[in-house]
Structure 1
Amino acid sequence: MRFATYIHDGSAHESAVRAGVVAEGTVHPLPQGTTVLDLVRAGLPAAIGAGAAALDGPAVPLDEVRLLPPLDPPTVRDFVAFEEHVEGVVESVGDGAGVVPEWYEAPTFYFTNPYALVGAHDDVPVPPGSQLFDFELEVAAVVGRDAESPAPEDVEIFGYTILNDWSARDLQRREMKVGLGPAKGKDSATTLGPWLVTADELEPYRDAEGFLALDMRVAVNGVEIGQDLLSDMGWPFEELVAYAGRGTRVRAGDVLGSGTCGNGGCLAELWGRRGTQDPPPLRPGDVVEMTVEGIGTIRNTVVAGLDLPPVRPARARPRTRKRPS
């Protein structure tokens, strides 16, 4: 089943936002006030029951609605689970080449901005001050049940959606030289969409090792840039969720990104491999389209961002140990 969050009448008022079930080019609204996060927290059986009831009701053509991010998650963690991506991107964003030994020891993630989520077809502004804007093709899993230090076999995943982790590579590179981050290099926008596909729908794609063998593709202005399989991840999603909850907790509705796939899943990987900015950084007017087998397609247009004054550098470093008398 596919759950979406959308606006039909074009109003920005909160009451105009609805959740619904997507089927055959239409969306069937759920009862007013019901959110996709409510369904996730209710559990998959209850959600599918609510969705089935909605399918008996009225429908709205998908081309008449604006798709919002499918849910409003409590947290968004983004992993880096594709070895091939790391091989290429460290040469353009990091220092040196190759995958550090620590990558193989355990999954790595950072928390990104849940307030910067955008919908499947929304415009995406270039972050202030960035000249090296990039996309990242990912799949995200949505946690289906609260858990503390869960074992991978006890993890419940409600469903999956496409994630585009938009990245300002020049800002990211500066931040990570400090040994912390990424921060402003990553938090301007993250696309989630077009909807949330329940986990049961994607089980036919699961391979013998427990990975989902979904085809992933990204194109810029109609030209394909990258293609990979989700099953090329170093860890399956159940292990990523278990690691996220290790020594702490995860909650139903938390979003966990796979990290960027390899073979052109982002521009920075190709820049690192080729030693030149080919293809070039994204510019206003560029259209980025991502398609993941079994889930759907998101398509965002890059637009000009805010023109803000430069960030003030740190003051001269004082060494005063006592207040003036």
Structure 2
Amino acid sequence: MRLVTYAGASGPRPGAVVGDRLLDLGGFAGSVAGLLADAAALSAAEAAVAASDPSSLPVLDESVLLAPVTPGKILCLGYNYRGHVPDGVDPTANDPEYPDVFVKTPNTLAGPNEPVAIPRGATDVDYEGEVAVVIGRRAQRVALEDALDHVGGYTILNDVSDRAWQRRQSQWALGKCSDGFAPLGPWVVTPDELGDPQDLLVEVVRDGVVTVSQSTSTTIFSVAYVIHHLSQVLTLEPGDIVSTGTPQKLPAAQDVHRPLAPGDAVTVRISGIGELTTTFVGSSDAGQEASA
């Protein structure tokens, strides 16, 4: 299933995308995270989708889609694709022993239709297209072989980053956590529909040019290992996001690096999941939209 959260007349509602139509699932759970955490409700929702008549459903209006989940935690990986390494590090060097984990704070969450404001004074804002894992079942000290049982689905995250702030300190928080720096969506694809998370093509398109193109088969740490690893330290709850890192930009894109500017748009597309397009605006533009 492709699960969404959409803006209904009475507030956010969970739903399923059936072809190009929308099936409301509010009768089964109050949220997508709640649906993923309740096996009986999820099974009933799957049956409802299978039995639905798409012609009787409203056409999906993607403009009403919100972030598919509201995570309590957004955990991200750095340098998880082979060939993507810190400046000055040999890209052919041995793999690291453990994942490089950082946090994006709740203020970074943005929906699939929300523009991202470039902060005042920012000089080097960049994009990172990533496969984001949505936790479906509580995970605490899970074994590696059981880790994927705790995955509720997969979505797309653009790990927007202010490189100038990121370079100013050994910890990355101030470069990663500006308001709206984690666009998420447009939906959550359940594991039964997606298949193998280690066989997805991650691409990013900017200005009509593909700037990133690499398979998740080249990640250093698999989804299963990352869930297992993180759960040894903290408890992962339904709706939490674990974003699995970005590939290195293609050489031609690296050679002409240009910081994001108002008016730019970046599309992250991942096979089996879909596309997430984020537009960037000036901070004053975002303020005007919020007050409109």
Instruction: Normalising by structure 1, report the TM-score.
Output: 0.78
In the other structure, the counterpart of 2:59 is 61
CA distance in 1, matches of 2:248, 2:31: 34
Moved more, 255-264 or 161-170: 255-264
Q: Deviations over 1:270-296 (max 9, x none)?
A: 54xx4xxx1311110011011100001
Q: 1:213 aligns with which of 183, 187, 199?
A: 199
Q: Which amino acid aligns with 2:173?
A: A
**Bigger Rg over Cα:** 1
Q: Which amino acid aligns with 2:282?
A: A
Q: 2:265 aligns with which of 258, 273, 287?
A: 287
Q: Describe how 1:27-106 pairs up with structure 2 within 5 A.
A: 27-31=22-26, 34-43=30-39, 46-53=41-48, 56=52, 59-63=57-61, 65-80=63-78, 81-86=80-85, 90-91=86-87, 96-98=88-90, 104-106=96-98
Distance 1:145 1:122, change over 3 A: same
What SS does structure 1 have at the residue aligned with 2:173?
Answer: coil
In the other structure, the counterpart of 1:222 is 208
Q: Describe how 1:111-260 pairs up with structure 2 within 5 A.
A: 111-155=103-147, 156=149, 157-174=151-168, 176=169, 179=170, 181-188=171-178, 189-203=181-195, 206=196, 212-260=198-246
Shift of 1:40: 1.7
Shift of 1:215: 1.2
What SS does structure 2 have at the residue aligned with 1:172?
Answer: helix
Q: Which amino acid aligns with 2:41?
A: A
Q: Deviations over 1:80-134 (max 9, x none)?
A: 2113222xxx22xxxx333697961111211111232112232111123211111
Distance 1:163 1:76, change over 3 A: same
In the other structure, the counterpart of 2:5 is 5
Task: Give the aligned length.
Answer: 276
Moved more, 51-60 or 289-298: 51-60
CA distance in 2, matches of 1:113, 1:101: 31
Shift of 1:247: 3.8
Q: CA RMSD in A?
A: 2.5
The answer to whether residue 278 in structure 2 is matched with residue 300 in structure 1 is yes
The answer as to whether partners of 1:41 and 1:144 remain within 8 angstroms in 2 is yes
Structure 2 residues without counterparts, runs of 5 or longer: 286-292
The answer to whether residue 20 in structure 2 is matched with residue 20 in structure 1 is no
The answer as to whether partners of 2:81 and 2:246 remain within 8 angstroms in 1 is yes
Quick one: percent identity of the two aligned structures? 33
Superposition misfits of 4+ residues, deviation over 3 angstroms: 99-103
Distance 1:231 1:129, change over 3 A: same
The answer as to whether partners of 2:84 and 2:91 remain within 8 angstroms in 1 is no
Structure 1 residues without counterparts, runs of 5 or longer: 10-14, 308-325
The answer as to whether partners of 2:265 and 2:280 remain within 8 angstroms in 1 is yes
Moved more, 105-114 or 51-60: 51-60
CA distance in 1, matches of 2:64, 2:97: 42
What SS does structure 1 have at the residue aligned with 2:61?
Answer: helix
Distance 1:304 1:27, change over 3 A: same
CA distance in 1, matches of 2:129, 2:258: 17
